[in-house]
Structure 1
């Protein structure tokens, strides 16, 4: 009888400890710009994989304006966030000590899209032509400035027109001869309209990639100097789990799209497409077990796109196409790595634009210390 009471006592104690332990989740506030979008799939994947929960953390994703997000990360209101390198440099100059701990985009995602109705295929041939840009701010304007500088040109050599984030509409109505765009998105939108005969006389487009001439730091995982000093183990855990999520997406975009459906309400989907992607995701998991080379994985993505294109309409697949094009900008021999020369070029562009009065100490704006 005494032995039974002792056993019961320890069972009760163990149950209390287990319940207490399972509820003791530490919240991680993670900031994202814009609105929910397929391009944020690595963060959604990190949340879905659930490994942060196993470490005792609960990921809370919140969206907002980038300048506000930088301030909230610097003050510790947000623990981490997805912020551009330009914003990091400007924040640090303004005494807001934030640091990029994982370089998400290995290639700058901005370029110039030129329809085939425009008599130009190079930057030099854009002299005197109407070039659209969202505005004289942000990544698009910085990228255009860098691209023009490399070609010994300036804004005065083109007819710059501020068109907002409406490049497909403006291009298809003939409002500009070319436009600065995100190369993983708007060119696909313009081409889709052209294929449907809804883009005037335009039948095809070409793209000049800024990264081919002047690569700069784009978005990455950012935290505060206080977080680095006070809780480096949390930084290491978040970077490791983000890295795992990004690799999963690069290896299995079908699964990434399915995961993102729970986070992005506007993603196109039908029962048939969902079933196709589920089957493709399962087959890809089997394929990855064979430890294929990066080249074979890239080929498997191309094969998947061909198979999808043969069965579904382009409108239904547009966001999946965006995901595939975005993956190409993430890929690298070492994911997450920040290159000092690229940071230096980014800082110089900000000085050239007058956004910074002098060249900052950009080497303290990033760290590779926490990469897996």
Structure 2
């Protein structure tokens, strides 16, 4: 859920760059008195149904056991992804593990403490009528990407590596956040897009998209997860533990009653109308599919193998400035 990838059709209903209202959960302390510490959870772009578990968590008071005052904060359009976390304005951040590892390589104190998306959401998308039927078919063709940054760009690197290709074998076209238009107007032959965004838009438009996974098996990139700083985690271990568990419970509640979750999310999305609901339903279902809820249960533990593979891939591809040891970038201490 890269912060710049949330410009879906549903988001067009919200004012561009508008930060959503700060939603707070009044979490009682164990003694019954008001908590003295704060736990601000940063949601990396404007209000969207992909953040439904957090809205559900506040609405259903699932954050109440946390020994801190929990609130949600949406980022502004031009805000740096990690700025509020490193300044202390936020204590948690919902963002990609790949971005966190890149930031850590640049000296940012950030660590992943809980899972959110368990499957990687970025794929190479082509129209069903396109000759691009496998990643190897990208050779000599135009591949659209938002830009040379973020999850989409990293996914493009994985896709080329999987196909045995290099950037020199394809024509990279930076199309901004117009992947759907670029693909359907044949400005490009394929695009890198999100299953919770571009793929949904193409499907709802009846464009018959073909989605190609960027790697066989486990993608060596970690997508959206719950981040904090090592300094905050050391100082507030029980807060971190309870927030991780509350998010897991909120994901379970969202999966169990998606219509209710959309109703709750609608109260947080500026400009919401009933016309946005079909898109929201499709996006929420795609999001829950990525969360991998089994028998109503969501496990917040992170995949150690995937983190190790990501560290190796980013380093070997020179996609991080300095090597990062996987175990320095994530922990399951608070997810068990």
Q: What CA deviation, in whole Å up to 9, does each residue of 1:244-299 have, x standing for no partner?
A: 001111222111111111111244427xxxxxxxxxxxxxxxxxxxxxxxxxxxxx
Residue 224 (1) aligns with residue 239 (2): no
Residue 349 (1) aligns with residue 313 (2): yes
Which has a greater percent of helix? 1
Q: Distance in 2 between matches of 1:67 and 1:152?
A: 36
- Determine which of 52, 55, 59 is the counterpart of 1:41: 52
Residue 29 (1) aligns with residue 40 (2): yes
- What does residue 281 of structure 2 align with? 320
- TM-score of the superposed pair, with normalisation by structure 2: 0.82
Residue 55 of structure 1: CA displacement? 4.6
Q: Distance in 1 between matches of 2:311 and 2:35?
A: 42
Q: How does 1:286-297 map to 2 (within 5 A)?
A: none
**Cα gap change, 1:28/1:175 in structure 2, threshold over 3 Å: closer, same or farther?**
same
**Cα gap change, 1:245/1:251 in structure 2, threshold over 3 Å: closer, same or farther?**
same
SS at match of 1:31: strand
- What does residue 208 of structure 2 align with? 204
SS at match of 1:53: coil
Q: How does 1:40-79 map to 2 (within 5 A)?
A: 40-53=51-64, 55=66, 57-64=68-75, 68-79=80-91
SS at match of 1:52: coil
Would you say the 8 A contact 1:32–1:63 is kept in 2?
yes
Residue 120 (1) aligns with residue 97 (2): no
Residue 210 of structure 1: CA displacement? 2.5
- What does residue 291 of structure 2 align with? 330
Residue 144 (1) aligns with residue 156 (2): yes
Would you say the 8 A contact 1:29–1:78 is kept in 2?
yes
Q: Distance in 1 between matches of 2:293 and 2:266?
A: 26
Would you say the 8 A contact 1:31–1:69 is kept in 2?
no
Identify unmatched segments of 5+ residues in structure 2.
Answer: 1-30
Q: Distance in 2 between matches of 1:55 and 1:357?
A: 36
Q: CA RMSD in A?
A: 2.4
Residue 56 of structure 1: CA displacement? 5.5
Would you say the 8 A contact 1:112–1:178 is kept in 2?
yes
Q: What CA deviation, in whole Å up to 9, does each residue of 1:192-236 have, x standing for no partner?
A: 22x3xxxxxxx5111012354451201111111112211101111
Q: What CA deviation, in whole Å up to 9, does each residue of 1:35-89 have, x standing for no partner?
A: 1111011111111111333556433222226983424323433111112112221
SS at match of 2:126: strand
Residue 344 of structure 1: CA displacement? 2.1
User: Rg: which structure is higher?
Assistant: 1
Would you say the 8 A contact 2:96–2:222 is kept in 1?
yes
Would you say the 8 A contact 1:150–1:213 is kept in 2?
no
Aligned residues: 302
**Cα gap change, 1:116/1:248 in structure 2, threshold over 3 Å: closer, same or farther?**
same
Q: Distance in 2 between matches of 1:249 and 1:86?
A: 25
Q: Distance in 1 between matches of 2:63 and 2:322?
A: 40
Q: How does 1:1-372 map to 2 (within 5 A)?
A: 26-53=37-64, 55=66, 57-64=68-75, 68-193=80-205, 195=206, 203-210=207-214, 212-215=216-219, 216-269=221-274, 316-331=277-292, 335-372=299-336
